[in-house]
Amino acid sequence: MTGATPGFGAVLSGLVLAAAFGLLYQRRAGGLINACALQAWALAAAAAWQGVAWEAPELIVVGCLVLAANGVALPMALRRGARRAGIGPSVVAMPGIPVSLLTAAALVALAVLASATMASPAQARGEIAVDLSVVLLGLFTLASRRGGPGEAVGFAATANGLILGMVEVRGMPLVALWTLAVLALGGAAMLRPGGQLR
Amino acid sequence: MMRISIAAAALVVHVALMLALAPLLVGCLRWAEARLMGRIGPPPLQPWHDLRRLALKQPVLAENASWLFRAAPVVAFAATLSAAALVPSFASGMLDVPLADLVAIVGLLALARCTLALAGLDAGTAFGGLGASRTMTVAALAEPAMLLVVFALGLLVGSTNLDAILAALSDGAGLRASLGLALVALVMVGIADCGRLPLASPATRLELTMLQEALGLEYSGWYLALLQWTAALKLLLWLTLIGTILLPFGLASPDSGLPAWLLALPAWGVKVGMLAAGLAIFESAIGGMRWARAAEFLGVAAALGLLAAVLAFAGQVLT
Amino acid sequence: MPRRLAAIGCLGLSGLGLVLALAWLVAGGGVASLAIPIGLPGVGMALALDGLSGWFLALLMAVGLAASAAALADAGEGAASEAFLFVLLGAMALAVLAADAFALAFGVELATLASVALLLGRQEDPGPREAALRQIAVALPAAACLIVALALLAGGVGWDLRFAAIRAHPPQGWQATAVLALTLVGAGSRAGLAPLHGWLPPAHAAAPPPASALLGGAMPALALYLLVRVLFDLCGPAQPPWWGVPLLVVGPCGAVLGMLRANAAGDIKEILACSTVGTTGLIASGLGVALAARGADLPSLASLALAGSLLGVLAHGLVKPLLVLGAGAVQQAAGSRRLSLLGGLIHRMPVTTACMLVGAASWAALPPTAGFAGFWTLFEAMLGGSRAAGAGLQILIAVVAGLAALAVALAALAAVRLIGVALLGRPRWPRTLAAEEVGLPLRVPMLGLAAASLLVGLFPGAALALMAPALRRLVGADLADRAGWLALAPQGDMPGYSAIGIAALAGLAAALAVGLIRWRGASGARIGPAWDGGFDAPPTWLPFGDPLTQPSGAGFAQPVLKWLGTALLRAKERLDTPAPGEVRPARIATEATDPVDRAARLAAAALRTRASAAADRMPPLTGRGALALLIVVLALVLVAVTVWGQP
């Protein structure tokens, strides 16, 4: 008994999903950046916990990478960008907040239904549902939040979802490299010529 | 026979400790928030001094106060104390385990809330009516969120009995993603039910930030003492509930030996203390929320509760 | 004098019926049949008393007892309604005791007719007349749907209308689906199931006092009896699980809509009528879970869900007449039913207030009342139902549970609003100062109903035991081993809800509080003006204070209507603020419409326009033309009978 039950990692991935919800609830840029940082921290904690529980040191490396990139560097860059653009630009949400929350709930239900059709053991089905939900919510955030750091946060949320999926798969090879690739892709998307961070 | 007497003794000690420590909790919270904001703050035992002082004063009743106004503080106190007696703090398997149903606890808190709202309306004042309206409106969204969390927790064991749920959680059976969502939803509902920031500010007397304090503005003397004690009990109840669901170990049962019992009380104190410290830091860091946004806040809590239930299905072995 | 005789006759008969039904249920609820020669020529009617009809008969007779006792007190307001009371009670008893399709349809339609006639009999107000017309507009299609559904059931067994024959050959395939749809429309609309609920609030609000108690409590119960009898009993246990889905979709929506409308209404009886719509929605959700569980071959879960629904029907049937009688008492004493013209009645009418408090607590589902017992059982059934079905149905049941909890919370809000604005606080209108407590004939039924609902709330296991014959017949399992005198425990090995235990615990806590106060607290109290945050004393011409400085009904509900009502009820606020320098006050006007109601009325109006345009275009019918038409129609009917009657 390593002292860290793997089940608690599932609780932490639930916190990642809750943070994804929290992203959709924010109106102001500051809140959005904080929620994105919170999601990255929860993901880092989940990765580190799974690394300790399954005795897989590369997952701890993944956790540190996520913390450094999405948890520290990105919020700092976004806040500096927000300061440069003026005092607290507000984020425009294309559908209103209640409609976004309902759509998010429907997307999660869809993910659960989709995972129920897969023929895997019950616990794996639950994890797949959570990972799929986080990715879907990240894509929805990307699509529905315009202005300010909205787009960048959407990319970061989607990247977080993909990394969570990779972390949950036990014994996935080269996890750290894949994580690096996903983060780099996300960063490239954010820093592209037409993007918000330029 | 031995088990029953231990269970009964545990219940009596639990109720006595809840009654004694609730004002102390409120005092410590106020002191901590004051210190975090750079003030010295009242001593942690101040609420106890307040209760004693208020009890010795003769109450003044409004001219149009009815028998409902006089009975309401006793009814609300009784309902909240009953709910507090049902939530295990340091011992599981207390004598009232057959009564400890989560839906019944939610119902008892609703009974206390409705009684106080009616008392606020009975006074016939604008403050009382405003407080009653806002309390019941917040409850209209917070209660479904709470019941959805109860639904999600009940799916673990197929019943809503609190002791059975805690036993299942301490066995590690419930450690799934839905528990994380349910905990976040539970914290949000607890903030709404106790009338804390960001929903309302318990320290001010501005009508826009009061939820439950407005209901007690007409009360004085020992009525007011009962109301303050009720509010403190409710806060301790919520912190205990969230603490035991978050960290379900450390509960002593009548079967366990003496070391478990010796550790149980400090364990409870540590859990409640940690959550109280977190609450103090949270409240001193953020400001209040506009009333119009409270609906979204509670809507998120309800959505998270629903998703906790839905995700609990995803991880179940379907027949 | 004849009116009094009619009321006393009703009283005696309903008392007798109640005692008989209860004795029957306690003795085990076997089946007793009776064939009477009146009815269809050559066939007559068959009546039978089994577990289900005995249970509903007991409820209907209890409500009838209270209503007849209240009718003894009536002075003028409910003119000539005692005769309708008689007819209503008789028709409902006939419908519940019916053992063939004709008696069932006859009883139900006669009851509907009597309730419509009750409204049309009042010549002086345009309101009841319009409500009656709306009720007819829904009742006629509902009657047609019910008759066609029963005909489909009977047609499958060669036109033998008796229930025993229908049960032997349950419908299948498209016939079963048609029966489901037609029964949902025919019976559900009578109970106020969304989206066919628009007629219920005006009709129940406009009915005269003693009969409206019967209407409010017993008519929804009768309609739900119809639903249960046809869908559970006559259609047989072999129906697919998706049969529960229409009820699961429609029920919670109706529940939330009804309770939200109750918050927007400004008339006490309209509030109560909207809450009937809400309670019907909750009960329908329970019936949906029961149907789904029965289709999935889970009899214990189905019996739990059905027990929750029937307990909800019992709670509603006891509490709604209590509240309606209270509303009648308030109108009689204070001269109005509008929330803006009441207030401060608790001082003048303490007994009425106490009884209405008990009723409102059950409506708001607060422990340890009957309403809470029903809601608890429903919640446990939904919890069990969600573990036993496919993924889609599980998610649906979780959403249903959330919406049911929302409806109950909105009901608590509406209950506090009703009691707080109408009965508590300070008077808003001078007429309320002259209110006197109502006389004994109105007090006794209210006290009786309050005591009955408290007993059911404290001992729900006893009510479930009385329900056992009905549960065994309908779903094949009962709750005998899971519900006792002290507690309800649906999962046999884990504890459940013990109403009497929680009441005892609360009593002990209250005793502790009182003891602490006696020991340490100051005794006595001084009376002084209200603190009110330091407000001045009111001016001398307003001895009870300015009525405007209290919350009104509209003001109390404004936050919840703004949060939920803008989407669901198209609630709008119009704010008219004066420009700086003007001395007129600011005004706010709120309005809310039920979107389903509005859509139904628009559709009905469009249909009527089109029908009258088509009728205008038809050539006038001569005598010979009418005869030819009659012969053609008769020939078609004979052909249909011949074709369907083939074995």
Higher pLDDT, A68 or C6: A68
> From the CA of C325, how many Å to the nearest CA of chain B?
21
Percent pLDDT > 90 in chain C is 32
Confirm or reject contact between B78 and chain C (CB < 8 A): yes
Residue A28 main-chain phi, psi, to 5 deg: -105, 160
Residue in B296, B307, B318, B319 to test binding to A, most A beta-carbons within 10 Å: B307
B318 contacts A116? CB cut-off 8 A: yes
pLDDT of residue A93: 64
For residue B175, give the nearest of A7, A22, A115 by CB distance: A7
Query: Residues C624-641: what's their mean pLDDT?
Result: 78
Q: What is the pLDDT of residue A171?
A: 67
* A108:B310 CB<8 A: yes
Q: Rounded to a whole number, what is the distance in angstroms from the first to the last CA of chain A?
A: 49
β-bridge mates for residue C34, sequence order: C47
Q: How far apart are CA B309 and CA B186, in angstroms?
A: 13
Q: Where are chain C's structural domains?
A: 1-173, 240-477, 595-612+623-644
**DSSP three-state, residue C368:** coil
Q: pLDDT per position in chain B (319 positions), as tens?
A: 888 888 898 999 999 999 999 999 999 999 999 999 899 989 999 999 999 999 999 999 988 899 999 999 999 999 999 999 999 998 888 888 888 999 999 999 999 999 999 999 998 888 889 899 999 999 999 999 999 999 999 988 888 999 989 988 888 777 778 888 999 999 999 999 998 878 887 777 676 677 888 888 899 999 999 999 999 999 999 999 999 998 888 888 887 778 888 889 999 999 999 999 999 999 888 877 888 788 888 989 999 999 998 888 776 644 3
Query: Which residues of chain B lie closer than 8 angstroms to A97, CB-CB?
Result: 296
Q: What is the pLDDT of residue B317?
A: 47
Q: What is the rounded distance in angstroms from the CA atom of residue C62 to the CA atom of residue C84? A: 17
Query: B224: domain range?
Result: 2-314
| H/E element, B117 | helix B102-122
Q: What's the mean per-residue pLDDT of chain C? A: 86
Which range has highest mean pLDDT (A5-14, B210-219, B228-237, C227-236)?
A: B228-237
Q: How far is A191 from chain B (nearest CA, A)?
A: 32
Residues on chain B touching A133 (C-beta within 8 angstroms): 311
Q: A24-28, A58-62, C450-454: which has the highest mean pLDDT?
A: C450-454
User: Which candidate, C332, C327, C322, places its Cα nearest to that of C436?
Assistant: C332
Which pLDDT does position B233 carry in this prediction? 96
Q: Tell me how far the alpha carbon of residue A66 is from its chain's centroid.
A: 10
Q: Does B144 lie at the interface with A, CB-CB under 8 angstroms? A: no
CB C6 within 8 A of CB C83: yes
Interface of A with B in 129-188 (CB under 8 A): 129-130, 133
Report the distance separating Cα A162 and Cα A138, nearest Å: 10
Instruction: Please check the confidence at residue A1 and state whether its pLDDT lies above 50.
Output: no
Task: Pick the range with the lowest mean pLDDT from B191-195, C179-183, C424-428, C520-524.
Answer: C520-524
Domain count for chain B, please give it: 1
Cβ B303–A101 below 8 Å, yes or no? yes
Residue C592 clears pLDDT 70, i.e. is over it? yes
Instruction: Give CA–CA dist C169/C94, Å, rounded.
Output: 24
pLDDT, one tens digit per residue, over C103-139 is 899 999 999 988 888 777 665 677 788 888 888 888 8
Instruction: Return the residue in C362, C382, C396, C413 with the most chain B beta carbons within 10 A, the one to mutate for interface testing.
Output: C413
Contact list, A8 vs chain B (CB under 8 Å)? 175
Cross-strand pairs, C527? B61
- Whole-model pTM: value is 0.91
pLDDT tens digit sequence for C254-279? 999 999 999 988 899 999 999 999 99
Peptide bond into B98 cis (omega under 30): no
The vertex-C525 CA angle with C523 and C527, nearest 5°, equals: 170
pLDDT of the residue at A81: 75
Mean pLDDT, residues C200-210: 83
Put simply, the answer to whether A10 touches B177 (Cβ < 8 Å) is yes
Residues C359-390: pLDDT tens digits? 999 999 999 899 999 999 999 999 988 766 67
**B residues 80-109 lying closer than 8 A (beta carbon) to C:** 81-82, 85-86, 96-101, 103-104, 107-108
By a Cβ cutoff of 8 Å, what residues of chain A touch chain C? 98, 109, 112-113, 116
* pLDDT, position A2: 37
E strand or H helix at C589: strand C587-591
Calculate mean pLDDT across residues C72-97. Answer: 77
> In which band, very low, low, confident or very high, does the pLDDT at A149 lie, cut at 50, 70 and 90?
confident
Q: Mapping DSSP to helix (H, G, I), strand (E, B) and coil, where does residue A192 land?
A: coil
- The answer to whether B62 faces chain C, any CB pair under 8 Å, is yes
Q: Which residues of B touch A17 (CB under 8 A)?
A: 177, 180-181, 307, 311
Give the nearest chain A residue to B316 (CA atoms): A122
- Binary contact (A108, B311; C-beta < 8 A): yes
Indicate whether C160 pLDDT > 80.
Answer: no
> If you measure CA to CA, which chain C residue comes closest to A108?
C395
Buried/exposed B270-283: b ≥16 CB within 10 Å, e otherwise: ebbeebbeebbeeb
Most confident of B202-211, C74-83, C567-576: C567-576
Q: What dihedral do alpha carbons C112, C253, B313, C309 form, nearest 10°? A: -30
C178 exposure class (CB count in 10 Å sphere: 0-12, 13-18, 19+): middle
- Mean confidence (pLDDT) of chain B: 89
Q: CA–CA separation, C517 vs A3, rounded Å?
A: 50
Helices B46-55 and C499-520 cross at an angle (nearest 10°) of: 80
Looking at this protein, which amino acid is placed at residue C339? L
Distance from CA of B212 to the nearest CA of A (A): 26
For residue C578, whether the previous peptide bond is cis, meaning omega lies within 30 degrees of 0, is no
Residue A10: what pLDDT? 82
Interface probe with A: pick from C386, C393, C395, most Cβ of A within 10 Å: C395
Q: What is the pLDDT of residues B262-274, one digit of tens each?
A: 889 999 999 999 9
Strands A145-146 and A92-93: antiparallel
Q: Is C633 helix (H, G, I), strand (E, B) or coil?
A: helix
**Using 50, 70 and 90 to split pLDDT, how confident is the model at A148?**
low
> How many Å apart are CA C185 and CA C148, to the nearest integer?
11
Distant-in-sequence, close-in-space partners of A128: CB < 8 Å, separation ≥ 6: A115, A118, A120, A165
- C127 contacts C208 by C-beta, under 8 angstroms: no
Asked if A122 reaches chain B (Cβ–Cβ under 8 Å), the answer is yes
pLDDT value of position B190:
94
Query: Residue A28 in contact with residue B314, Cβ under 8 Å?
Result: no
Looking at the partner chain, which of B85, B108, B129 has a beta carbon nearest the beta carbon of C550?
A: B129
pLDDT, position B83: 96
How much is the ipTM here?
Answer: 0.95
User: Which residues in chain B belong to E strands, given as ranges?
Assistant: 60-62
Q: Which chains touch A (3 or more CB pairs under 8 A)?
A: B, C
Classify residue C358 as exposed, middle or buried by CB count within 10 Å of its CB (0-12, 13-18, 19+).
buried
Enumerate the residues of chain B whose CB falls inside 8 A of the CB of residue C495. Answer: 97-101, 161
| Nearest-angstrom CA–CA distance, A6 and A12 | 10
pLDDT-derived band at C209 (thresholds 50, 70, 90) equals: confident
Work out the minimum CA distance from C391 to partner chain A, whole angstroms: 6
Q: For residue B238, what are the contacts with CB-CB under 8 A and spacing of at least 6?
A: B190, B193, B194
Mean pLDDT of A3-15: 74
Structure confidence at residue B66 (pLDDT):
92
> What is the pLDDT averaged over residues C216-241?
89
Residue B319 lies in a domain: no
CA distance C120 to C132: 6
Q: Say what the pLDDT of residue A194 is.
A: 54
Cα distance between residue C131 and residue C199, in whole Å: 7
Is B108 within 8 Å of C563 when comparing Cβ atoms? no
Query: What is the C-alpha to C-alpha distance for residues C187 and B213, in angstroms, rounded to an integer?
Result: 47
